[in-house]
Structure 1
Amino acid sequence: MAFSIRLNEEERKLVDSYAKLHSMTVGEAFKRALFERIDEEYDRAVFEEAYRDYVKDGKKSRPISELWKEVGV
C-alpha cells in the first residue's frame, strides 16, 4: 500500500534530517514511527485493562521494599 503525506518545508527538513541521522529512507522513518506508536498504544491499553481487573479484584499495590523483605533480598 502506498500513500502520500503533505509536509511544509520545515516539516520536510526535520523528517529528512531524522531519516539521514538514522540511515533510513523517509518512508522507513514514517513506517517505524507509525508502528512504534501503534505498539505503545496497544501496550498501554493492555496495561490499563489488566490494572482495572487488578483493582476490581480488590488487589492493592505495595512498596517494592516489602517484596524484597518477603523474598529475603
Structure 2
Amino acid sequence: MTELGLYLSRRSVNRSDVARKTGISTTRLSDLSNNPRTRLRVTELYKIALAIEANPCEIFSVICKDIKLPK
C-alpha cells in the first residue's frame, strides 16, 4: 500500500465517493493507493484533498515524508 492509500484508509475515505467527486476513476484511485510505482499528479492530489475536505499541504507532507535532498 502507498502512503496515499494508508492516509485514505486512516481517514476511512470511501474511494467511490472520491471518484465521483473528482472524476478520477476508481481504477486510478486503486492504483494510486496500492501501487508504489504509480505516479500521483499534483492535480489529482489537489482534487482528492478537496473531495475529502483535507488540507492539500497535509496530504502532501504525509505522502512525501521520505523524500530528502541529496547531500
Normalised by the length of structure 2, the TM-score is 0.31
Higher relative contact order (CA 8 A, sep 6+): 2
Q: Identify, as 1 or 2, the structure richer in helix.
A: 1
Normalised by the length of structure 1, the TM-score is 0.31
